[in-house]
Amino acid sequence: MAAERTIFHADLDAFFVAVERVLDPSLIGKPVIVGGLGPRGVVATASYEARKFGVRSAQPMAVARRRCPHAVYLRGNREKYSEFSHRFFNLLDEFSPTVVHVSIDEAYMDMTGSERLFGAPKHVAENIRQRTKQELGIAVSIGIGPSKLVAKMASEEAKPDGVFEVLPDEVEAFMASKPVRAMPGIGPKSAAALSELHIETLGQLAAHPVGPIRRALGPNIAGWLQLRAKGIDNSPVAERSKARSISAETTFAEDISAQDEMLDVICHLSEKVGRRLRSSRMYARNVSLKLRYPDFETITRQVTLQQMVDGDDVITSAARELLQKALAQRSGAVRLLGVGVSGLGERAAQLSLLDAAVQKDSAISGALDAVRGRFGDDAVRRGS
C-alpha cells in the first residue's frame, strides 16, 4: 500500500466579483455580474446573489440580463485579476513546495507530510483561508482529500467560504451519493448516455457491470471512470514531464522578408511554447531559435537565461533577440521560423526568489492561459 496522501484543492469564491468588491466595497451584498458587455458578450462570473437567479459563467449576457436585470454589470479588469491571482499563489507557496496552478484562481497543493510542520490539515486549511481573507480581502474554499479528484470535489462541497475534508475511509461514501455530473470529466453527453443505463449517481456507476458502460462511452474510459467513481485517483499533484525540450515552428507558404512580420511570428510561437511549458508545469533555462532560409540553409541559435522562466514575455524577447542577431549575420527572406525552450526543470520551490518581473510575467501568462483555454488561442494577446 502506498502511503496516504493529503491533497488540497483551493479555489477562490466568485473570483472576478470578489476582486471587484475589494476595489469597490459598495458592491458587497449586491448581485454583481462580470463579463463581456457587448451584444455577444458572455458572463465570466456572477456573484452568489446573482447565481440564485440562474446566472452562470459562460452564459450569454443577454440571458443574464433577463434573469437578473437588477444586478450590477461590470466589464472587469484583467490586470487586477492577474495581480490577485499572483498574490494568492504566492501565499499558497508558503504552505507547500508543490503547488500546481490549474487556472487563474485554483490550485492543487500536495500537503502530504506537512502535519509536523503546520498541524492538522483542517487547521492548515483554515489558516490559509484566514490569511487569504486578511491579505487579499477575498474568500477561498478548500477541499481536502487523499487524491486530486476527491480534493477537487470536496472544494465544491466547501463552497462558498469553507473547508471540507474527506478522510480516506469516507471517500467511497462521499462519492457514492453524488450525481454523475459532479465528477470532473463527465459532461452532459456522457451523463445522458449513463442515464440511458439508469446510472444517475457515482455509486451506481461504480457498481454497474462494465460491459454496457464500455459500449455506451467507449472501451478506454469505462474502466477508468468506474475507478474514479469510487474516488480512486493516483495521479501525482505535479506531473513529471519527460519532455526535455518544447518547441513550435512554422513554415511559410511564401517566404517572408519583412522583419516586423518575423517578429510577430516569433511572438506567436513563443506564446505557444510558453503555454505548453506552463501546462506541463515546467520552467526553462534556455531559449532557442530555428531559422531556415529559402535555400534551405538552417541555423539554430540558443541563449541561456539568468534564471528559470515560464512566461511568454521573457521567451518572446529572448527569441526576438536571437532573430535579430541571426539576421545581422545573414539577412533576407526566411522560409521557416521556430522557437524552443530546453533545460527544463520543475517549478522551483523557491519561486519567491525569482525576480519580480519574471514572476509577474509568469503570473500574467498563466492567467491568459486560463482565458485562452476557455475561449481559444487567439482570445487574448498581450500588448507589448
Binding footprint of ligand TTP on the chain (CB under 6 A):
11-16, 44-45, 57-58, 104-106, 159-160, 374
Burial class (CB in 10 A: 0-12, 13-18, 19+), 317: middle
C-alpha torsion sign, points 18, 20, 25, 31 = negative
Q: Which is nearer to ligand TTP, 76 or 168 (CB)?
A: 76
By CB under 5 A, residue 20 contacts Mg ion: no
Instruction: Please identify which residue in 11, 49, 310, 369 interacts with Mg ion, judged by CB under 5 A.
Output: 11
Shortest Å distance, C-beta 11 to ligand TTP: 5
Buried b (16+ CB within 10 A) or exposed e, 19-48: bbbeeeeebeeebbbbbeeeeebbbbbbbe
Residue 74 host element (H or E) = strand 72-74
Piece in contact with Mg ion (CB under 5 A), picked from 4-12, 182-190, 267-275, 343-351: 4-12
CA distances from residue 351 to 118, 252, 309 in whole angstroms, order as listed: 20, 38, 10
- Partnered with residue 292 across adjacent β-strands are 298, 336
Q: Which is nearer to ligand TTP, 58 or 120 (CB)?
A: 58
Which three three-digit cell numbers place residue 324?
Answer: 535579430
Contact 66, 83 (CB under 8 A): no
Shortest Å distance, C-beta 40 to ligand TTP: 14
Q: Which is nearer to ligand TTP, 57 or 286 (CB)?
A: 57
Piece in contact with Mg ion (CB under 5 A), picked from 5-13, 188-196, 202-210, 342-350: 5-13
Residues marked active site are found at 106
- Whole-number Å distance between alpha carbons of 202 and 199: 8
Shortest Å distance, C-beta 65 to ligand TTP: 17
Residue with cell 539554430: 300
Q: Which is nearer to ligand TTP, 139 or 197 (CB)?
A: 139
Q: Which is nearer to ligand TTP, 82 or 226 (CB)?
A: 82
Q: Which is nearer to ligand TTP, 99 or 104 (CB)?
A: 104
Q: Is 10 helix (H, G, I), strand (E, B) or coil?
A: strand
Instruction: Please identify which residue in 20, 49, 93, 105 interacts with Mg ion, judged by CB under 5 A.
Output: 105
- Beta strands 163-165 and 140-145 are parallel
Shortest Å distance, C-beta 12 to Mg ion: 5
By CB under 5 A, residue 12 contacts Mg ion: yes
Shortest Å distance, C-beta 325 to ligand TTP: 39
With CB under 5 to 8 Å by kind, the binding choice for 223 among Mg ion, ligand TTP, none is: none
Q: Which is nearer to Mg ion, 80 or 301 (CB)?
A: 80
Instruction: Spell out the alpha helix ranges (H) of the chain.
Output: 15-23, 48-51, 61-67, 78-93, 115-118, 121-136, 148-158, 171-176, 188-196, 202-207, 210-217, 219-229, 259-279, 312-329, 356-375
Shortest Å distance, C-beta 161 to Mg ion: 12
Which three three-digit cell numbers place residue 213?
Answer: 458502460
Contact 58, 45 (CB under 8 A): no
Rounded to a whole number of angstroms, the distance between the first and last alpha carbons of the chain is 52
By CB under 5 A, residue 49 contacts Mg ion: no
Shortest Å distance, C-beta 2 to Mg ion: 30
Reply yes or no: is the peptide bond before residue 60 cis, omega within 30 of 0: no
Residue with cell 447565481: 51
With CB under 5 to 8 Å by kind, the binding choice for 282 among Mg ion, ligand TTP, none is: none
Interface residues with Mg ion (CB under 5 A) are 11-12, 15, 105
